[in-house]
A and B are shown apart, each in its own frame.
Chain A
Amino acid sequence: MSGKKIMNDEQAGGRSTVDSLMTTQLPGSGSSTLGSDIQAKIGQHLRAMYDDVVRQGVPDRFMDLLSQLDSPAPKTTASRDSDGEVER
């Protein structure tokens, strides 16, 4: 597929003219093009780094902490076990 693409480009003589036309026109706007490329890259990398942490989800230590904070009365497993025995 890529081979075919290259052939097409070679056959279409007009294409290379357009390319050279574009490159000759670019230098004036070159610095701003480079600048916006880099700005896009900055945004992309910033989010990639950040999202990499976000994708790790919620570590167990925080779920444990929340369960502790949210339990009505802090009871140890041992006391819960003895409660169960009393009920029986």
Chain B
Amino acid sequence: MSKFDPALRDEIIAAIPNLRAFAISLSGSVDRADDLVQETLLRAFANIGSFRVGTNLPAWLFTILRNLFRSEYRKRRREVPDSDGAFAATLTTNPDQNSHLDFEDFRTALDKLPSDQREALVLVGASGFSYEEAADICHCAVGTIKSRVNRARKRLGELLAIDSAEDFGIDQTTRGVMIATERV
């Protein structure tokens, strides 16, 4: 009855929330991100035959989405990014546990990164892909991904160190404990 393998279909559905989060980090706009995801799904179903069952479906979908974004990007360049930050627009839960100012600082810093570094950082640090998978998605060498992630972390560290020194001072200890607790 269903045209597609139901298991494959379910796997694609399960990947949609992650695709959206990645698309938002790429495009800087929720609306454009959702259009990108829609286009990705259309492409994926149109080319489902080229997906080898048993291989990494999320990575395949992320690759399609990234390729679409890149070709679109080349065509019309990046439009003026959402000045409030795309992630800000998507915040549904109250980020009480982290101060709002903190989030603001982070978003601002993230926006200052070159897009290839931000993309690598998001894939490895948030989407949960390995360096190898991220390299496949971005069509580059593993070493390139590693250096992009390192540069992204270093740059963010520099940007946030300034903010921390100004804003938090002695609160560092408390923050350290909080972070350590969340890791457990």
Contact = CB atoms under 8 A, between A and B. Distances in A.
B106 interface: yes
Interface of A: 34-35, 37-59, 61-63, 65-66, 69-72
Contacts, number: 118
Contact of A37 (B2, B153, B176): B176
Contacts of A37: 164, 172, 175-176, 179
A49 B17 contact: no
23 contacts: A39-B153, A41-B106, A41-B160, A42-B125, A42-B157, A42-B160, A45-B98, A45-B102, A46-B110, A47-B125, A49-B107, A50-B122, A51-B21, A52-B92, A54-B17, A54-B18, A54-B21, A55-B93, A56-B92, A58-B13, A58-B17, A62-B16, A63-B13
Interface of B: 1-4, 9, 12-13, 16-18, 20-21, 24-25, 34, 37-38, 41-42, 45, 87, 90-93, 95, 98, 102-103, 106-107, 110, 121-122, 125-127, 153, 156-157, 160-161, 164, 172, 175-176, 179, 182-183
Nearest to B17: A54
B17 A46 contact: no
B35 to A, nearest CB: 10
Contacts of B9: 66, 70
Contacts of A49: 87, 103, 106-107, 126
A23 to B, nearest CB: 10
A58 B84 CA distance: 23
A54 B19 CA distance: 9
B179 A45 contact: no
A77 to B, nearest CB: 18
A70 B87 CA distance: 31
Given A34-B164, A38-B157, A62-B37, A52 B90 contact: yes
Contacts of B20: 53-54, 56, 59
B38 A65 contact: yes
A36 B26 CA distance: 26
B34 to A, nearest CB: 7
Name, among B41, B107, B157, B183, the residue most crowded by chain A CB atoms within 10 Å (CB to CB): B157
Contacts of A63: 13
